[in-house]
Structure 1
Amino acid sequence: MTTSKSIIAKTLKIIAIIFTILLCIIIVLLLTQKPKDLEILNVDVSAIKDGIYVGNADNGLVKAAVSVEISNGMILNISILEHDNLLGKPAEKIIDSIVEQQSLDVDAITSATYSSDTIRKAVENALRQGE
């Protein structure tokens, strides 16, 4: 009996060590992953044709899809259709600033820069469809 208990204990220790090593590898991979730098160019909203445009953006860690409604050269509404984020949910407030200022040249939401930039890039991509 002592032998089977000893074998079980050794097996559990090996499993625990393997699990710990795998967990450490996953943590290191997540911490070392860097998002892509997104270049966001402002768009002359007054030159965009009336309509509803959908745009997507992906920086490697964060993805976003938006719908942008344009009427009479103004952004009327932006809806977030998808936002796969890490901790960047607060960045979704950036659409209010974009609509208010009628520009992509708005400040990122503090502590949600990657998500803010990804959402702004998705809006830019949507607007480019109406040029």
Structure 2
Amino acid sequence: MKLRKVYPIILTAVITLLIGFAFVAFLLRPQPLDIGTVDLNTVSDGEYIGFCQNKILFAVVKVDVQDHKIIAIEVLEHKPSYMEQAEQIAGKVLSGQSLEVDAISGATLTSDTVLKAIENALKK
């Protein structure tokens, strides 16, 4: 008899927790970012640090520029499970000398976050 009285309370608590988790996950989900362009002819030689926080995704990059060309991009910090994809998108920017590169398949939000960090570094 007691179980019949407790069962609705437990069910209500479980449903409330699931709705709460879903709501928090929705709020923390990274968003697509607008990536601008950078004219490398206006960027002086040097080492630039840029970062971007996209809700739970966070990227810190170091960009080295010499003779108005990007000579190196190092991803200093990113979520470990997406570090490989972050380094791939940085490599695409380096080889293309542009932020206008295709996102890594399956890691669009990671790609956007790293691209925005590179843009932020070069626009300082």
1:61-101 alpha-carbon deviations (Å, 9 max, x no partner) = 3111110000111101111111137x644431101100000
Q: Which residue of 2 aligns with 1:99?
A: 94
> Which letter maps to 1:127?
L
Give unpaired runs (5+ residues) of structure 1.
1-5
The offset of 1:42, in angstroms, is 1.2
Percent identical pairs in the alignment equals 36
> Which letter maps to 1:60?
K
In 1, distance between residues paired with 2:33 and 2:51? 12
Instruction: Say which one has the larger Rg.
Output: 1
Give unpaired runs (5+ residues) of structure 2.
none
Q: Which residue of 2 aligns with 1:46?
A: 41
Query: Alignment partner of 1:39: what SS?
Result: coil
Query: Alignment partner of 2:110: what SS?
Result: helix
How does 1:44-83 map onto structure 2 within 5 Å?
Answer: 44-83=39-78
TM-score of the aligned structures, taking structure 2 as reference length? 0.79
TM-score of the aligned structures, taking structure 1 as reference length? 0.75
Query: Alignment partner of 1:124: what SS?
Result: helix
Match of 2:104 among 100, 105, 109: 109
Runs of 4+ in 1 over 2 A off after TM superposition: 14-24, 31-37, 87-91
In 1, distance between residues paired with 2:106 and 2:65? 29
Query: Alignment partner of 1:64: what SS?
Result: strand
> Which letter maps to 1:105?
E
- 108-117 vs 57-66, which deviates more? 57-66
User: Does the 8 Å contact 2:37/2:100 carry over to 1?
Assistant: yes
> Which letter maps to 1:75?
I
